[in-house]
Amino acid sequence: MKKTTLWPYPKIVAHRGGGTMAPENTLAGIRCGLSHGYRAVEFDVMLSSDGIPVLMHDPVLGRTVRGMGKVNHLTAAQLTVMDAGSWFGPAFAGEPVCTFERAIRFCQQNDIWMNVEIKPAEGCEVETGRIVAKMAQACFATEVAAHIAVPSAMTAANLPLLSSFSLEALRAAQVAVVAIPRGLLATVIKNDWLEQCQEVAAVSLHTNHKFLSPVQVNAVKESGYGLFCYTVNSRKRGAEILAWGVDGFCTDRIDLIPADLVMPAGDTVNK
Domain harbouring 165, CATH code: 3.20.20.190
Report whether pLDDT(53) > 60: yes
Q: Band the pLDDT of 263: cuts 50, 70, 90.
A: low
Question: What per-residue confidence (pLDDT) applies to 261?
Answer: 84
Q: What is the residue-averaged pLDDT of the chain?
A: 94
Q: Which of 15, 36, 147, 206 is catalytic?
A: 15
Decide if 55 is inside a domain: yes
User: What is the mean predicted confidence (pLDDT) over 102-118?
Assistant: 98
Please tell me the predicted confidence (pLDDT) of residue 134.
98
The boundaries of the domain holding residue 236 are: 12-251
Share of the chain above pLDDT 70, in %: 94
Would you say residue 108 lies in a domain?
A: yes
pTM: 0.94
Q: Is 209 a catalytic residue?
A: no
Within a domain: 180: yes
pLDDT of residue 2: 38
pLDDT at 13: 98
pLDDT digits (tens, 9 = 90+) for 249-258: 999 999 999 9
Q: What span, in angstroms and rounded, lies between the C-alpha atoms of 102 and 112?
A: 13
Q: Is 22 inside a domain boundary?
A: yes
The torsion angles phi and psi of 227, rounded to 5 degrees, stand at -130, 120
Per-residue pLDDT, averaged over 65-90, amounts to 97
Cα dihedral 153, 19, 246, 217, rounded to 10, equals -120
In a domain, 90, yes or no: yes
Residue 2 included in any domain: no
4 found inside a domain? no
How confident is the model over 34-48, as a mean pLDDT?
98
Average pLDDT over residues 28-36: 98
Residue 73 annotated as catalytic: no
Check: CB of residue 167 under 8 Å from CB of residue 158.
Answer: no
Confidence grade of residue 5 (pLDDT, cut at 50, 70, 90): low
Domains contained in the chain, number: 1
- 149 in a structural domain: yes
Statement: residue 270 has pLDDT above 70: no
